[in-house]
């Protein structure tokens, strides 16, 4: 779905098999924005890392929502986890490692955390 401001919004089941759809959408937006092949590859890797982090939280995610847009000379992406009440069997990953990996790929990274773990990860880069 694309909203009136040109933002792509995709809601996916919180399952590793659907991460490919998020990767394809972000890389396609990067292509439309004129990014080179290396930056598009970084976008795909950053999307993988965000999804992996959101899928491995103390509270299991039910859905992942991708929001992406190009605005003011920057490409913005945000992945959000919609959580259920079910507790995950997976331990919380090391957030500093996730942040470190993302910051090697993208110049601007933000992680939104609460008592249940990471609920949202955003990143942006100039186009």
For 5-52, write each residue's pLDDT tens digit: 679 999 999 999 999 999 999 999 999 999 999 999 999 999 999 999
pLDDT tens, residue by residue, 80-96:
999 876 555 555 567 78
Please give the torsion angle defined by the CA atoms of residues 90, 92, 93 and 96, in that order, rounded to the nearest 10 degrees: 170
For the whole model, what pTM was predicted? 0.85
3-state percent helix, strand, coil for the chain, nearest multiple of 5: 35, 40, 25
- Residues forming a β-bridge with 114: 117
Q: Domains in the chain and their CATH numbers?
A: 8-126 (3.30.565.10)
- Whether the CB-CB separation of 51 and 20 falls below 8 Å is answered with no
């Amino acid at each position: 779905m694309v909203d009136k401001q040109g933002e792509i919004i995709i809601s996916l089941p919180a399952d590793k098999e659907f991460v490919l759809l998020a990767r394809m959408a972000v890389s396609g937006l990067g292509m439309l924005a004129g990014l080179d092949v290396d930056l598009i590859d970084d976008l795909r890797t950053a999307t993988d890392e965000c999804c992996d982090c959101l899928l491995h939280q103390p509270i299991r995610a039910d859905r992942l929502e991708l929001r992406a847009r190009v605005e003011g000379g920057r490409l913005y992406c945000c992945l959000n986890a919609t959580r259920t009440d079910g507790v995950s069997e997976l331990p919380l990953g090391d957030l500093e490692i996730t942040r470190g990996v993302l910051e090697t790929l993208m110049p601007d990274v933000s992680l939104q955390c609460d008592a249940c773990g990471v609920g949202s990860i955003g990143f942006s880069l100039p186009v």
